[in-house]
Amino acid sequence: MSVVRTHIFLLLFTIAMTLSCTSPNGNIKSTQSRRPLGFPVYPPIADADPNIREIREFDIPTKLSVQRSDTLLIIKGDSASYKKTQIGIGKNMVIGSIHTLNIYYKDSMVYSYGYERSGFGYYEGRGFTRSSSGIPIPNIEYKIVYLYIIFETDLPPQHMWMYKTSKYKVIYQDTLSAISK
């Protein structure tokens, strides 16, 4: 009986979504104004101005710290390498950061991880154990590449931030590399 209810629900949901996306004459409505189910869409910040720049100072790593044993690999920003970096940010603009970590064996990527966050964030690091991730393998050399991006936008943090669209501007980017032997 529950399978039948599920199918009826999905059918009714599909009909409702179809009706909400079509106008009375059968044309597809624009999806620009529709909100994703369950997630509010916040409007741009009214007094944000990317043309009025304010200088802010950030501590940013210039090297990676790699610690390794036969069964453990830990990668993080080298705390001794942090340098003060001044970056211009638009008045009342929101900043976010993108972190991407890729690990290569020879020319093949064996691991990739990335995340976005609102505000400025340091790279907290990532640990790997051979038993859970298969990394590291003894006597195998890995190339580690960490991409760090700071962006600004007049949109408050929200679901589905898309920093690669025209509403977002990259204001700082750096790539750090290290070899793990």
* Mean pLDDT along residues 24-53: 70
Helix, strand, or coil (residue 15): helix
pLDDT digits (tens, 9 = 90+) for 29-41: 444 444 456 788 8
Q: Please give the model's pTM, rounded to 2 decimal places.
A: 0.71
The dotted CATH code for 49-180 is 2.60.40
pLDDT digits (tens, 9 = 90+) for 71-112: 999 999 898 999 999 999 999 999 988 888 999 999 899 999
DSSP string, 82-101: -EEEEEEEEET-EEEEEEEE
Nearest to 63 by CA among 75, 45, 46: 75
How far, rounded to the nearest angstrom, does the alpha carbon of residue 38 sit from its chain's CA centroid? 21
For the cut 90, the answer to whether the pLDDT of residue 66 exceeds it is: yes
